[in-house]
Each structure stands twice: as structure tokens, then as C-alpha cells.
Amino acid sequence: MISKNDIKYIHALRLKKFRIQHQEFIAEGSKIVGDLLDSFVAISVIYALDEWIQAHSEIAHNAKTIVPVSIEELTKISSLTTPNQVLAVVEIPQKRFDVELSSTSMIIALDDIRDPGNLGTIIRIADWFGHKNIVCSETCVDAYNAKTVQASMGSIARVHIFYEDLSHVIQNAAVPVYGAFLKGNIVYDERFAAHGFLLIGNEANGISAEIASLVTHKIFIPSGNAAETHAESLNASIATAIICSEMQRQSLIHLNQNQ
């Protein structure tokens, strides 16, 4: 049985100010909640149908509290048009970015990404290509809002997300900084290092001037026939995927050459 106070609290967590205040967020859906249960994050409460609890008994115990609910009760707390079988209240991981990570791995850095769907997709892309850390500027959209969590398709359970002063972070790391621009070295001609920062800018304005001054390698993704191309730029998440794919391709070639 779910209480009125529980319903009120879950609804409050839809707003960023309450997520910040309570340091918790909401995740919905069997896949996303299942991934979170099997991850580094802590789950405070699971509200689920009996059939979900029985089917996931091996991992459900990882939550601090499990509350069986009816489909009617789940509908009251769900933000989805069609409620799934489970909703979880999840603790926001408390951590600071260690700049030393950029000397051993490629870090995706995001400058003022505003669209929650874009951020969620970038988190999913990072997970796919094995990039375990994303540093967001303090003006980026909240990674723990419902749209971003849903768009990540469970990858938010495997990627560490940090909110930092990007300028300060990059200035304190003596590593390559690759930035996506409309002019620069063609991405397929760039020789990527195995570590450093891959910087993606705001959907409308690109990388800010302050951060752009710290970029050591400006790269761009060539379009098709310029005379027939009318798009001004690529979506931020698509650009991230293309660049990550090229970095992965080069990494695999290097690995094969050394075997």
C-alpha cells in the first residue's frame, strides 16, 4: 500500500529543486530499474506490481525498501502515459570528478547541453562505446530528470555523471581536448589519443568561447555535397555518436596492429 505522503513525495521529485533538496530521482520501467538495481547507485524504494517483484526476486533485494502496489496505485505515481510495472526512488550519486581520469581514458565533456533527450541519448552512446565518465557544465540540463533518465535506456546506471566548472576542469588537465566545430580537422583525418576530453557544445550555439579557447584539436564532421546540404549542423547526440564511432574504429585498428 502506498501512502498519500509517498505519492506527494514522488510527484515532488519531478521538479529539479526537490531532486536537489532530497538528492533523489525517479526511474520507471522494468529495464531501467533492473539496470539500476545491478549498478553502483543506491535505490531507496521500489514500488512494483507483485508479478514484477516475483520475476525479479534475485535483484529486487538490492533496494532498501520494496512496496507492492496495484496498477491503480502505480498509475497515480507514474509520469508515463502507460505505466510500466515498476517505479523506483533512486539516490543521486555523490561524487566529484577526478581530473586524473582524463589521463587514462577519454572523457566526454558537455558544454551547456539543454535538451534532456539529447543528454539521455549521449549517456546511452557513452555506455555503448565504453566511455564511463561524462563531465557536464553547470548549465547543462539535469541528468536526473525523467526525460533524460528514460532516454538513457538504463545507461545512466553504468555511466558516471559529474557537474563541474568545465573551464577549471580542463585547465587542470594536461591532456588533448577534442572539440566538435563547424570548421576544423576532418574527424576521419584526426588521430585520436586514447585519453583526454571529447567536448560537445550547446545545440544552438556550439562550444562557448571560453571553453573553445581551451580546445587543442578542433574537429568537424563533413557533410555531403555542400550545394545540396541545407542543415546548419548535426544534432549534438548524433555528432557525439559519429565521433565516438571513429575513435572506436581507430582504437580497434591500433589493437589489431599490435596483436
Last residue in a domain, options 91, 118, 149: 91
- The parent domain of residue 40 ranges over 4-91
Predicted confidence at residue 117, as pLDDT, reads 95
Quote the pTM value. Answer: 0.93
Looking at the fold, whether 139 and 244 belong to one and the same domain comes out as: yes
Domain CATH code at residue 80: 3.30.1330.30
Predicted confidence at residue 258, as pLDDT, reads 75
Domain CATH code at residue 199: 3.40.1280.10
* 3-class secondary structure, 207: coil
Q: Within 13 A of 74's CA, how many CA atoms are on the CB side?
A: 23
Could you tell me if 51 and 29 are in contact, meaning their C-beta atoms sit under 8 angstroms apart? no
Could you tell me if 241 and 205 are in contact, meaning their C-beta atoms sit under 8 angstroms apart? no
Last residue in a domain, options 91, 109, 132: 91
Looking at the fold, whether 251 and 141 belong to one and the same domain comes out as: yes
Report how far residue 44's alpha carbon sits from residue 24's, in angstroms, rounded to the nearest whole number. 9
Looking at the fold, whether 84 and 121 belong to one and the same domain comes out as: no
Looking at the fold, whether 49 and 116 belong to one and the same domain comes out as: no
Mean pLDDT of the chain: 93
Task: Retrieve residue 98's grid coordinates.
Answer: 577526478
Looking at the fold, whether 122 and 249 belong to one and the same domain comes out as: yes
Last residue in a domain, options 43, 66, 91: 91
Give the tens place of pLDDT for each residue, 53-63. Answer: 999 988 888 89
Predicted confidence at residue 61, as pLDDT, reads 82
Looking at the fold, whether 171 and 248 belong to one and the same domain comes out as: yes
Predicted confidence at residue 14, as pLDDT, reads 95
Looking at the fold, whether 76 and 23 belong to one and the same domain comes out as: yes
Rg (CA), the chain: 20
CA dihedral 137, 142, 147, 149 (to 10 degrees): 90
Nearest to 116 by CA among 84, 161, 75: 161
Looking at the fold, whether 10 and 35 belong to one and the same domain comes out as: yes
Predicted confidence at residue 147, as pLDDT, reads 95
Could you tell me if 194 and 234 are in contact, meaning their C-beta atoms sit under 8 angstroms apart? no
Question: What is the phi/psi pair of residue 198, to 5°?
Answer: -110, 115
Task: Retrieve residue 130's grid coordinates.
Answer: 565504453
Question: How many structural domains is the chain composed of?
Answer: 2
Looking at the fold, whether 210 and 122 belong to one and the same domain comes out as: yes
Give the tens place of pLDDT for each residue, 4-42. Answer: 999 999 999 999 999 999 999 999 999 999 999 999 999
- 179 to each of 42, 83, 197, 213, how far by Cα in Å? 34, 40, 8, 10
Residues in the chain predicted with pLDDT less than 50, given as ranges, are none
Looking at the fold, whether 111 and 181 belong to one and the same domain comes out as: yes
Residue with cell 508479478: 51
